[in-house]
Structure 1
Amino acid sequence: MRYENPMYMAEDAGAADLIAGGRLQLGVSRGSPEQVIDGYRYFGYQPGEGETDADMARTHTSVFLQAIDGARFAQPNPRPMFPNPPGLLGIEPQSPGLRERVWWGAGTRATAEWTAQQGLNLMSSTLLTEDTGVPFHELQAEQIRRFRDEWKVQGHEREPRVSVSRSIFAIVDDRDRAYFGRRDDNQDQVGVIDGSTARFGRSYADEPDKLIEQLREDEAIAAADTLLLTVPNQLGVEYNAHVISSILEHVAPALGWR
């Protein structure tokens, strides 16, 4: 959202949702660490005085949400080519229900609470930009609890959705064994991103019966209602289809995933 024109994005999102028949699930966030320094400046954006780039992203998000909510703010031309409806004008097209299908990618527990305050669904990936020394799945489960607690405090009427992302590989043939049979990332990793300590969640790669037992112990997966699978896109469409179908066939039924 540091790079986005929120008004233009509202037009695009409304149009895409209408074309998709109200099926758009829109994920937004501040954005990941950049390859360049302050890249958003090249797009004509910079934080206001005393603001960070994260503050700017949240400001853009606020404007975007108001626009898709139907806010009217623009003075109509008194001599238009075509007649205007009475009053101020807003962004078109509008797609009813889109607001409830916007997700915020939160990297900390505090940001998850902010997400609940905005009435957005929570999207949490395989990285948290903080570390308390506990395993990643426990820290992420706490993030989800804080989000849901804050949601109740805010008194939102609908039930929120929560997604977590995982790298999961069921080893069922020699290809899987060659790619993932000997991985060194089957445990959490801790590093530094943007000057802060961050915790990266482990990958899951094992034979299906062992994989099922490992995944049963993942507290964040149990706490979420949606699981997003990350796939190694550099290995091609055919292999990624195999990765997903292997999980659906050999792992999902035992865990009650559907």
Structure 2
Amino acid sequence: MPTADVPLRKLGFLTIGTFDGDDPRPGMEALLTQIQLGEDLGFDSAWLRHRHLQHGVSSPVAIMAAASQRTSRIELGTAVTPLAWENPLRLAEDLATVDLLSGGRVNPGISVGPPMRWDDVKDVLYPDTADVEDFSYTRVDRFLRAVGGEPVATAGTQGIEVFSDRVQPHSPGLRERVWYGAGSLRSATWAAEQGLNLLTSSVVTGATGTDFAAIQGEQIAAYLDRNPDGRVSQGLVVVPTDTATAAQREKYAAYAAARLPRTREPQGPGKLLFAPDLVGTSEQIAEQLHAHAGFRQVTEVAFALPFSFDHEDYVQILTDTATRLGPALGWQPAG
């Protein structure tokens, strides 16, 4: 576990890949450039977050497919894919295809629950079945069976057409690289019982207190108690400023300050509690992380990039993370 004496094993980054709605391609190209930079800097993984009906990545599988052809080593993941927007069988086909094209580098991160803005999208997303769609853990089970190569139909032939009983293509090993995005003690425990890897982030749900680190630490401990061999990754918003310009430091500080009020008490009916963004020198951030009850129990991280920054900001943050913060945490670049 990454204390001051135990090194961090894997370092990744997470992004939503913002773009201009009137001219999306430059933003998408910038995202692919950032993933390539991540590989060059030795990052172990790059993760994409879904942003449906927003100016961000709505199709991580397509982005991963493109990135897989521009990189050779860095792992590519989703953090997370909300299964409520997906057909589990079709998603399994797409992920297996990209996993094979990438040489086995895909890490599917998934979650369940009704889609965000359900009342606004249900008539378009599920015009005939909205009232009967199952957004429970059963949807995860459907996905795991499909991606794991279990039978989903009857094999046979129709005329000259030959049909398989399982999703094609099948990518061996992909099932073992599935992660579950959990924000509550219940979901973290359930993920452990299913043999899924655990993705934690900068938000917990159902919070009854205000100590984010303690709550997240309790969730990770419960997971590891039930699945000690499972992988756990933490995804706090982390912004090192070692080589940032004065203007960048001012921008980063203002960004974190604007988001700070939501970290002081649980928000909304879901009682969401957010972690404060960590902004400062790599030395300062490393000291904070080594004292964090969640971070002290993980050996992998996928630090989240802030939203709505410029490409040059992301280049500086990624570079400082890989060349200064990572080494301060005992991490060594891959490759």
| TM-score above 0.5 | yes
Q: What percent identity do the matched residue pairs reach?
A: 28
1:60 to 130, 139, 143: 139
3-state SS in 2 of match to 1:192? coil
2:149 to 54, 59, 70: 70
Distance 1:236 1:198 in 2: 28
Match of 1:177 in 2: 249
Distance 1:223 1:25 in 2: 21
1:112 to 172, 188, 192: 188
Match of 1:156 in 2: none
Count of aligned positions: 243
When normalised by structure 2's length, the TM-score is 0.66
Deviations 1:91-143 (A, max 9, x none): 11110000011111011011001111111100011111121325111111110
Deviations 1:145-200 (A, max 9, x none): 11111225xxxxxx21111111112223313322124542568332334x221210
Distance 2:189 2:131 in 1: 22
For 1:62-101, list aligned pairs within 5 A.
62-83=141-162, 89-101=165-177
- RCO higher in 1 or 2 (8 Å CA, sep ≥ 6)? 2
1:130 to 206, 224, 231: 206
Q: 1:208 to 1:9 in 2, by over 3 A?
A: closer
Match of 1:5 in 2: 87
- The amino acid across from 2:308 in the alignment is Q
Q: 1:2 to 1:32 in 2, by over 3 A?
A: closer
Distance 2:320 2:157 in 1: 62
> Residue 171 of structure 1 contacts residue 181 of structure 1 at CA under 8 Å; is this kept in 2?
no
Q: 1:32 to 1:141 in 2, by over 3 A?
A: farther
3-state SS in 2 of match to 1:90? coil
Distance 1:47 1:115 in 2: 27
3-state SS in 2 of match to 1:166? coil
For 1:178-197, list aligned pairs within 5 A.
178-182=250-254, 183-184=256-257, 185=259, 188-193=263-268, 195-197=269-271
> Residue 146 of structure 2 contacts residue 152 of structure 2 at CA under 8 Å; is this kept in 1?
no
Q: Larger C-alpha radius of gyration, 1 or 2?
A: 1
Distance 1:79 1:203 in 2: 57
Q: 1:11 to 1:65 in 2, by over 3 A?
A: same
> Residue 7 of structure 1 contacts residue 91 of structure 1 at CA under 8 Å; is this kept in 2?
yes
C-alpha RMSD of matched pairs (Å): 2.4
Distance 1:77 1:212 in 2: 57
Distance 1:208 1:11 in 2: 41
For 1:141-156, list aligned pairs within 5 A.
141-151=217-227
Q: 1:238 to 1:141 in 2, by over 3 A?
A: same
Distance 2:171 2:224 in 1: 26
- The amino acid across from 2:239 in the alignment is F
Specify every segment of 5 or more residues in structure 1 that has no aligned partner in the other structure, as ranges. 153-158
> Residue 2 of structure 1 contacts residue 40 of structure 1 at CA under 8 Å; is this kept in 2?
no
When normalised by structure 1's length, the TM-score is 0.84
C-alpha displacement at 1:9, in angstroms?
1.0
Distance 1:79 1:33 in 2: 38
C-alpha displacement at 1:34, in angstroms?
1.7
1:165 to 230, 235, 241: 235
Distance 1:42 1:58 in 2: 23
Q: 1:33 to 1:219 in 2, by over 3 A?
A: farther
Match of 1:248 in 2: 322
Match of 1:140 in 2: 216
